[in-house]
Amino acid sequence: MFTGIVQTSGKIAALNKTGDAVQMILFAEGYFSNSKKGDSVANDGVCLTIENCKPNEAVFTMIKQTIDNTSFKNAHVGDLVNLELPCRPDSLMGGHFVMGHIDSTAMVTEIVNRETGMEIDLEIPENLSKYVIHRGSIALNGISLTVAEIPKKNIIRVAIIPETIKVTNIGNWKNGTLVNVEVDMMGKYIEKLLSNYVPQATNH
């Protein structure tokens, strides 16, 4: 489990196709010093397993299901990837509960630079909109963010502070960029529980 507080960004050093999967080699100076084979790491919000690693480099394999359902379908060598190690029992919960299981992708539709930070609009899939609320939490490329506004159906707006821009790959987003989305899992649990008692609850 993760918290959505991105610790650094790494650079894709290689993408090697192996059948219908892709092996990704990721460079992040010193970041994997305490990691080992079998550890999990959130890569742009996608929980992946380390196959091999050195202090500055880790190897991950993305299967077809992962590639098809995440922004990694558009990945290129040199791209920056947001990284977060799993939280520990004593970790501070600075963001929200993030599982690393991507629901879908969203597309950036507008970016407005402010005197401090920026505001970004994204179009999310219609089937996810019911889980997104004003001032609620959402994970975008593994970043725990607050939904600042919902200006219209299936469009969400997030406000980004300078520190987040500095640490993550948000500075490289542009109109048309695909971003990994994980909605707050609490909404899905509540929906499941309600459906057991009030079947019609999920139809409205």
| 8-84: CATH number | 2.40.30.20
pLDDT(199) > 70: no
b/e map of 132-155 (b: 16 or more CB within 10 Å)?
beeebbbbbbbbbbebbebeeeeb
Q: What is the pTM of this model?
A: 0.90
The confidence score (pLDDT) of residue 195 equals 79
The CATH number fitting domain 104-192, selected from 3.10.150.10, 2.60.120.260, 3.20.20.70, 2.40.30.20: 2.40.30.20
The confidence score (pLDDT) of residue 194 equals 80
The confidence score (pLDDT) of residue 1 equals 84
The two three-digit tokens of residue 2, written as one number:
């993760």
**Which residues make up the CATH 2.40.30.20 domain(s) of the chain?**
8-84, 104-192
120-131 residue pLDDT tens: 999 999 999 999
pLDDT(7) > 60: yes
Q: Are 75 and 24 in contact (CB under 8 A)?
A: yes
